[in-house]
Amino acid sequence: MKLKISDLSNGSIFIGDTLNIRTTLQFDEDESLLWTGIRLITNPPCGKELQISVGEIFAEGKFEAGEYIRDKSLFIRNLVPTIKKRNLEYNVQLIIRKKNPINPTDDIIIRKLHPIEIKTRETVIPTRKPNPVSVSLSGLNVRFNKDSFKPGESIKIEYSSEELKSLEVRLLQKANIICFCRAYGNTCRRVETLPPAIATSVKTFNFEKDYMILQIPENAEITHNYLWMPSEREFWNMKYGDYTKWSLLILGEKKLEFGGDLIKFEIPITITTKSYEETRSDFELIQRPVLKTPSLFEELPSSFTKKFEVVSIESDIDKYVITLKNVSGEYLSGISVKISGLQSNLFETASSLVGFNSWKNGEEKEIIYEIKQDISTIVSTIEDNSQKATRIQTPVSDESFF
């Protein structure tokens, strides 16, 4: 058995977009599978897998030897983006579960991983309007004209004091993983408490000059507080996220004649990729969607082409035998046929799945659907390696064609 997984997004995807995954399953011999699907997973600090979303490719079924190619899509929403600095990364996992012939209570699970980077777009929601900052404390006056900056931007810090012999300004970053889980309660013990990191600093002894320049690093993370909470009931007490906060730490050392004390206080600031004016402009654009006027010359959908024909449905006490014919005019490969039933045309019964390596044009295939319930309609869903799916609903009492 050989497994291959790739994405059609070149290794990265933006939050709010759809992640398209292509899987290839190569069976060297006939296989009976319990379940096949993909999962988007990440690993919290404890190292356990955290499932973000899941998509089924094949339910339980029997497959002939051959190659089966299937595309699957996962919608990426409300996620924490990839943050490699703190090992917050994602993988798409292809899983095949099959029976263990030696130990029936312990299934054989085959996994194949594919890394994926999840990105966030620059914010288009207007942030708080920047405010000027002015602080006076113990004879020190500090001023700057706004409290929101871009990476790489310079902060002009104006100051004055007759009591200090030195003044230092440090740019501090507080950043860490957020993880609440069942194993550790409200605070995960695997999340280490980190002190603020000094990104850069500037110091002066010159109080004849009235300002200093602090340069924000080009690679500074934007201020954020990402938090993901699962929608599945069994994971409701789980929270996973990441935050980054910035502040300016002001350190002023007094002259001895004024007591020699240290003045120390913090001023929170925001680092963002866009200015307030730019985010307002973006927001106004999304608030005014461009409506498309229908054109009389737009191309209409192509007419339906019949691909399969229900030749016959024969019933027994506990099974149905469905004979399908390929009338598409094409040689098909990697075909899966899922059969289920409808009760009173409302409730769908459990399905049965079978896979065929190939299906020649004009060839008939016989599928056995074992069921003891009374059904009124047989539903056949057929898909092949070209990702084309056909759904046929056939009343049990009649021989119907599609």
SS3 375: coil
Confidence at 301, pLDDT banded by 50, 70, 90? very low
Residue 362 dihedral angles phi and psi, to the nearest 5°: 85, -10
Confidence at 208, pLDDT banded by 50, 70, 90? confident
Q: What's the pLDDT at 277?
A: 59
Q: What's the pLDDT at 346?
A: 76
Q: Give 112-167 pLDDT, tens digit per residue.
A: 999 999 999 865 444 667 899 999 998 899 999 999 999 999 999 999 998 899 99
Residue 288 pLDDT greater than 90, yes or no? no
Confidence at 172, pLDDT banded by 50, 70, 90? very high
SS3 271: strand
Mean pLDDT score across all residues of the chain: 86
Q: What's the pLDDT at 283?
A: 43
Residue 59 pLDDT greater than 70, yes or no? yes
Q: What's the pLDDT at 304?
A: 41
Query: How many other β-carbons are positioned within 10 Å of the β-carbon of residue 287?
Result: 8
Q: What's the pLDDT at 312?
A: 92
Q: What's the pLDDT at 278?
A: 58
Q: Give 364-400 pLDDT, tens digit per residue.
A: 999 999 988 888 899 999 999 998 899 999 998 644 4
Tell me the two tokens of residue 265: 């206080």
Q: What's the pLDDT at 293?
A: 39
CA angle 17, 19, 22 (to 5 degrees): 155
Q: What's the pLDDT at 138?
A: 87
CA distances 125 to 16, 78, 220, 277, Å, are 15, 15, 20, 11
Residue 292 pLDDT greater than 60, yes or no? no
- Within 13 Å, how many C-alpha atoms sit on residue 183's CB side? 11
Q: Give 308-362 pLDDT, tens digit per residue.
A: 999 999 988 889 999 999 999 999 999 999 999 998 767 889 999 999 999 999 9
Residue 302 pLDDT greater than 60, yes or no? no
* Domains in the chain with CATH codes: 2-119 (2.60.40.640), 136-275 (2.60.40.2950), 308-395 (2.60.40.10)
* Cα–Cα distance for residue pair 274/173, rounded to 1 Å: 19
Confidence at 276, pLDDT banded by 50, 70, 90? low
* Cα–Cα distance for residue pair 380/307, rounded to 1 Å: 13
Q: What's the pLDDT at 264?
A: 93
Q: What's the pLDDT at 104?
A: 81
CA distances 166 to 140, 161, 247, 253, 363, Å, are 11, 10, 20, 5, 89
Confidence at 232, pLDDT banded by 50, 70, 90? low
* Cα–Cα distance for residue pair 273/122, rounded to 1 Å: 7
